[in-house]
Structures are given as structure tokens and as C-alpha cells.
Amino acid sequence: MSSPPPVSSAAPSAGAGLNLAQQEAVNYLHGPCLVLAGAGTGKTRVITHKIGRLIQSGLKPEQIAAITFTNKAAAEMRERAKSLIGKPARGVLICTFHALGVRMLRQDGAALGLKQQFSILDSDDVSSILKDAGGSTDAATVRQWQWAISRWKNMGLNAAQAGAQASGDEERLLARIMAHYEERLSAYQSVDFDDLIGLPLKLLQEHEAVRNKWQAALGHVLVDEYQDTNATQYEVLKLLVGPSGRFTAVGDDDQSIYGWRGATLDNLKKLPLDYPTLKVVKLEQNYRSTSAILRAANNVIGPNPKLFPKTLFSELGEGEPVRVVDCDSEEHEAERVVARIQSLRLGAELQAAGSQFKEWKDFCVLYRANHLAKPFEKAFRKAQIPYKVSGGQSFFDRAEIKDLCSWMVLLVNNDNNPAFIRSVKTPKRGIGHTTLGALSAFADTYKLSLFESLFSNSLGSVLPAKAVGSLQEFGRYLNDLEYRAKRCVGFEAARLFLTDWLKEIDYEKHLYDGEESEKVAAARWSNVMDFCDWVAQRCGGQITDAAGATVERESKTMLEMVQTIALLSTISEREGEQNVVTLSTLHAAKGLEWPHVVLAGVNEGLLPFKLEDDDGSNTENLAQRLQEERRLMYVGITRAQRTLAVNWLRKRKKGRDMIAGVPSRFIAEMALDQATVKEDPREKLKALRAEFAKKSAETLAAAAAAQGR
């Protein structure tokens, strides 16, 4: 087996400079610019260098905004900008679309009737409010309502507009539920995640002074992953940059895989129409993958219609051929993946005379849907291979963390009823469902929030004195906590504040009382401690990082830090990189890369997904679905740096039945030399083990002979 050339995981280092296309993108400052950045072509490098170029040209750092789609991408971009530009990078606004929306609404939301300390509801809060607004307790029904309302909001529609264009009784009913939902959000001084885009758009559209203020404040806006924007986000961008179009959009139409959540390629089509002077720059040199991998990727994406044609190329050499592996079943596939990983590690050991195995973190298995991970988990546990399932339960989805977050949200916005209900019941304080039901009815009658109702002179008319006393004691404690949080600045003060708070509410006892297993309770308490460290660090001041170095962060009060907490979907920033194999869906893997990748279950019905279920009446919709599935395959292929294996199943499970498996049409589209790329990893592993045993025996024999002499 020939050794592939070394592969860089990023664009060239700063010393190596930018290639010609990257330079062209970075140096174009005079108008709207679209950078078509193919997979692995160094788009983050282009964005950070362009930030530096804009500052060099005279823009102040605070006049530049770089918008990303995830907190992780924003954090990476901040680090890259800081290492390239230095101190001025601190002033650049680098954040997600949603974080920008929060900033706009905190500053100017009063024009829409929002208090500065409004709350941001998570999915569970939204579900709870919708159950109340629609009078249903069925989780599946409420989830369908959530998706439909979110889709309407992403199209820029409110309840009245949705009702006006409803196409049947079911949609008209849903529009009425949406109207009740909107009323409750307003009463609770709360917004959902879709509002963080929709309400800023409303601000910019309807309030000229606000629009002028933001256009004057932002000299240039850079948007990462532009192909993932929805219609509302595009309208926000247009109003932020004004008619002159001071923006750089960076994206790849071949990696648009989020159509199901509102992302639209129409935004790419509109750019040249809305901005006739648009400069288009293509980045086609890939710094991630070998030529064999890129050839398969280019072949797969070839049949899709092209907005802006491009072809990726690499100077990293041919590398290993892409392997196609046919498997008898899901379990057989998992065994073959285990064998492949073990043979690649053992092969490296044999080739490099005593060098270290390839690390576990070098390997990734990608699949179309979450349920396909189970056979791999079982096989990995049996083979004692460490792994993680990407997209598993978020740290912030754990019950103990949601408990603490609800308290913190309530400090910022006392009118948040869902946060109030969770906080007043956790830990228990003798306030039961009957008391809360009466309090809720009282609040509805007088158009008050639950917190406001606590101190009403009339509350005693509907609740006994003991219940009123318990509720008011809770209210007074919250007021005291808020007072202390406003004056708590920096890491040490925040850590003390959090420690005292947990002791005061006896939260550790609450966890141990609620769990039969002390081990589970201890693990949950450990999560709480991690969370407190994480929160305190974001209050700034001098902190010590994982490497033991002292880092200076901008100091914030606890209350300022807490205002951002509902936007955080992951705590991965604080976690070091784990040396484990990654199991991930294709959607969750976008933007990531690994030296060795396996694409699992590449069958018709899985990838592309269930096209046979389409009744054929809407051929345009079917064609669009197939194109997006092809883009998903392209994204999967381009995650691989050095080796790629593509698996398909001869038989696969469908419900409780086993059905004949058909290899995905995308395997044929890769146009590989099938005679040379099929393999059985188990046979290869058997041969490698035999070779390893032979070499070990030879080494032992030589050592014995030397000792005998």
C-alpha cells in the first residue's frame, strides 16, 4: 500500500501567503463581493485576511461584522482573526445571525414594544406555550405546529399574514394558534429563535432611524456559509448593508444541504440581480483532500445544475483510491468498519517501524440519519474502540443545566412565565400545582406575568396566606439575587456568587434526593460544577486556561453574561479535543474534516433518502430533493483528507422487515474503477495481523540469537 502525501488540514500558513484567487477576494473592497469557496479551499482564511485588509484600508474594527451560522464557527473565527490581526480583532463583531439579532433587539427593541431584558425561549419553552395556546397535550401534534410556525416565520409571515394565505381549514386553525402564541410571547416579554431574525427585519423595515443607525455603524459585513441563509436572513443583510452593498458573502452552492429548514439557493440567484456590480471570485484549490477523493466529489456533483460552475483541484497528490465496500447487513457493515479502522492503524505501525498508531480521532463514520449509529456503537463497544456520537444530547439539554438556566433567565426577565414555573418548582419549596394553577388564573385575569402577580394586593383573595407567603418569599429572594448579580463583576466574584446561590437553594441536596443512584446524582452535580466554571469564565477578568496560561477577558457582570445564555446551544468550547472515533450524521459533519472517513449505508432509500416515496405528481420538487441529496453526498466525500471508504448494504432494515439493498446511484456517479476499489477490510486486517505476527517473531528470534552470542 503506497503512502499518501502529507495533507494539510487548512489553507497555507501565514508565511506561505494566499493563492491568487484568495488574494483577489481579500483585496476587493469597492463593492459587493461573492466568494464561491469550494470545500477545503480556505474560506475562513479568506474571511480573516479580509477583516485585516478592511482595517488596513481605514475601517475601524467596530465597523466590521462577520456573521457565521454556529457559535463554534464564530469562536474559531475570533481565534483566527486574533492570531492574524492581533488586538484590533477584539473590536470586530464576530457572531451568529441570531446573536446579531439579540444585539439589535437589546439596543432598539423598544421600538417594537420589547423591554431590554426580554427572554429567549428554547424549544421546550415554545412547546409548552403552544400546548397552552392550542389546547393540546399531544407532543407530536405540537411539534408539527412548531415546525409549521417556524416555516412561516422564516418566510417573513406573521399570524395574520399566514391566515390570509391559508389553503385549508387545517392551516387556518394553525394560524389562529399562531396568533394566540404571539399574544403569549408578547405578554411574557419573550421571543423564540425565529424572532431573533424576524423582529430585527421588522425593525429595519419599519423604523428608518434604526435602519440608518445600523447602516452607519457597519462599514462592511461578511457572511460565512451564505448558501445556508433563508429568505428572512437575506432581507436583513440587504437592509444592514444598504444600497451600496458593503458586504462579502462567502459560500458554496454545492454545499447547500439545509433546504428542509428554510435555506434557499434563491439567495445566491438574487445577488447578481439585486447587485449588478457584484464581484464573483471562485476558490477552487482544495487544501484538504487528495486528488482521488476530489475526483469522486467532482463527478458526484457534476449532474446538478450549476449557478456558478467550478471544479475543485488539489496539489496533494493522487493518494489512496476511494474504496467501495459491499456489506451483507448493518451488523456486517459495522464489523467491516471496525476491521478497516484496525487495519489502517496496524498498517501504519508496520509501515513506520515502531511509530505510533494513527489516533482514534483521525477516524469518522458518517451516515444519513441518527438511528443508523446503533450498530456501530455496539461493534465499537465490543472491539473496545472509544467513540462519540456527534449531535448527541447537548450539555444545555441536561435537566440540571436547564434548571439553572431557567433561574438565570428569570433574573434577566422576571416576566418569563416558563422560566418562573421551572424555577419556583426546582428545588421544591412547598409550592404545588394547585397554587401555581390559581396564580396563573389570577395573572391571566389581570394581564400580569406570574412574577408581577406575586406582590399584588389582591392575590390573597384567591390563595391562602401560607401560599402567598411562600410565593412572596421566592419573589423577594429573586429580587435579592438580581441585585447581587448586577454588582458581581469578573471571574472570582461570579464563582463566589454561583457557589453561594447553589448553597442557598440547596441544589446539591435536591439532586441527590431525586436520584436513586448516588453515582448518577454525583455525575449531575459534576455537570453543575462544570457549568458554574464555564459561566464564571465568561464574566471575564484574569483566568487560567487549560494549558495553565493566564488569559485576560473583558469583565462582565453576572447579569450581562446571563443575558446571552439562551443563545448558547453547546458547551463544547470548554471541552478539550477527545481522542475518539466520531460517529456523525452527514448534516452535523458539514464544515468538519478527518484524515479517514467512512460513508455508511450509501443505499437507495437512505442516500438519496426515500425518493421512492414521492408520488411523482410534483416532478420539480422531486428534482430539487435529489439535487440536495446529491449535495449531501458531495459534502460527505469532501470531509475526507487521506482515505475514503463508501459502504452499501445488500440487505437493510426497513421497519421490522429486511429488504434487498440497492447501491446508491451516487456510487456509480463517482465513476470509480470498480475493479480496483472493492475490498474486504476483514481479509486485509487478517493479512496485516499475520504480517505483524511474523515481524514480531522475527524480532524475538533475532533478540534471542543476539543474547545467545
Residues 336-377 have pLDDT tens digits of: 999 999 888 876 544 544 444 578 999 999 999 888 888 888
Catalytic residue among 96, 233, 248, 255: 255
Q: Is 43 a catalytic residue?
A: yes
Q: Are 118 and 109 in contact (CB under 8 A)?
A: yes
What does DSSP assign to residue 1? Answer: -
Q: Are 364 and 597 in contact (CB under 8 A)?
A: yes
| Neighbour count for residue 325 (Cβ, 10 Å) | 22
Q: Is 639 a catalytic residue?
A: yes
Q: Is the pLDDT of residue 2 over 50?
A: no
Q: Give, for 470, the enclosing helix (H) or strand (E).
A: helix 465-486
Q: Are 414 and 451 in contact (CB under 8 A)?
A: yes
More confident residue, 479 or 138: 479
Q: What pLDDT, on the 0 to 100 scale, is given for residue 641?
A: 94
In DSSP terms, 191 is beta-bridged to: 120
Phi and psi angles of residue 185, each rounded to the nearest 5 degrees, phi first: -60, -45
Q: Is the pLDDT of residue 617 over 60?
A: no
What is the identity of the amino acid at 145?
W
**What are the E-state strand segments in 332-465?**
363-367, 387-389
3-class DSSP state for residue 4? Answer: coil
The label of the residue with cell 467491516 reads: 336
Q: Are 572 and 72 in contact (CB under 8 A)?
A: yes
Phi and psi angles of residue 450, each rounded to the nearest 5 degrees, phi first: -60, -40
Q: Are 412 and 120 in contact (CB under 8 A)?
A: no
**Which domains occur in the chain, in start order?**
14-106+199-282 (3.40.50.300), 119-188 (1.10.10.160), 313-392+577-682 (3.40.50.300), 396-568 (1.10.486.10)
C-alpha grid cell for residue 196? 431573533
What is the identity of the amino acid at 35?
V
Catalytic residue among 22, 41, 44, 232: 44
C-alpha grid cell for residue 162? 399566514
Catalytic residue among 192, 194, 224, 593: 224
- pLDDT, tens digit, 9 for 90 and up, residues 243-292: 888 999 999 988 888 776 666 788 888 899 999 999 999 999 999 999 99
- pLDDT, tens digit, 9 for 90 and up, residues 550-563: 556 677 788 877 77
Q: Give, for 665, the enclosing helix (H) or strand (E).
A: helix 665-669
Q: Is 678 a catalytic residue?
A: no
- pLDDT, tens digit, 9 for 90 and up, residues 440-451: 888 888 888 889
- Return d(Cα 685, Cα 683) in angstroms, integer: 5
Q: Is the peptide bond before 32 cis (omega within 30 degrees of 0)?
A: no
Catalytic residue among 122, 194, 195, 225: 225
Cα four-point dihedral sign 375, 649, 689, 360: negative
Q: Is the pLDDT of residue 10 over 70?
A: no
**In sequence order, what DSSP letters do the residues of 128-171 get, joined into one string?**
HHHHHHHT---HHHHHHHHHHHHHHHHTT--HHHHHHT--SHHH
Cα distances (angstroms) measured from residue 562 to each of 72, 114, 494, 523, 604? 19, 18, 11, 24, 47
Q: Is 381 a catalytic residue?
A: no
Secondary structure of 348-387 as H, E, C letters? HHHHCCCCCCCCHHHEEEEECCHHHHHHHHHHHHHCCCCE
Q: What pLDDT, on the 0 to 100 scale, is given for residue 682?
A: 58
What is the pLDDT averaged over residues 589-617? 81
What is the pLDDT averaged over residues 50-74? 89
Q: What pLDDT, on the 0 to 100 scale, is given for residue 530?
A: 84
Cβ neighbourhood burial of 675 (10 Å; 0-12, 13-18, 19+):
exposed
Quick one: how far is CA 332 from the chain centroid?
Answer: 31
In DSSP terms, 33 is beta-bridged to: 248, 279
Cα distances (angstroms) measured from residue 557 to each of 104, 322, 536, 561? 20, 53, 10, 6
C-alpha grid cell for residue 380? 465499537
| Neighbour count for residue 689 (Cβ, 10 Å) | 13
Q: Are 239 and 203 in contact (CB under 8 A)?
A: no
Q: What pLDDT, on the 0 to 100 scale, is given for residue 47?
A: 93
657-660 vs 651-654, strand pairing mode: antiparallel
Catalytic residue among 22, 41, 43, 45: 43
- Return d(Cα 294, Cα 291) in angstroms, integer: 5
Q: Which has the minimum average pLDDT: 132-146, 199-213, 302-316, 358-372?
A: 132-146
Q: Is 171 a catalytic residue?
A: no
Q: Are 571 and 635 in contact (CB under 8 A)?
A: no
- Return d(Cα 117, Cα 537) in angstroms, integer: 22
Q: At what angle do helices 123-134 and 417-425 cross, to 10 degrees?
A: 110
Catalytic residue among 80, 639, 642, 684: 639
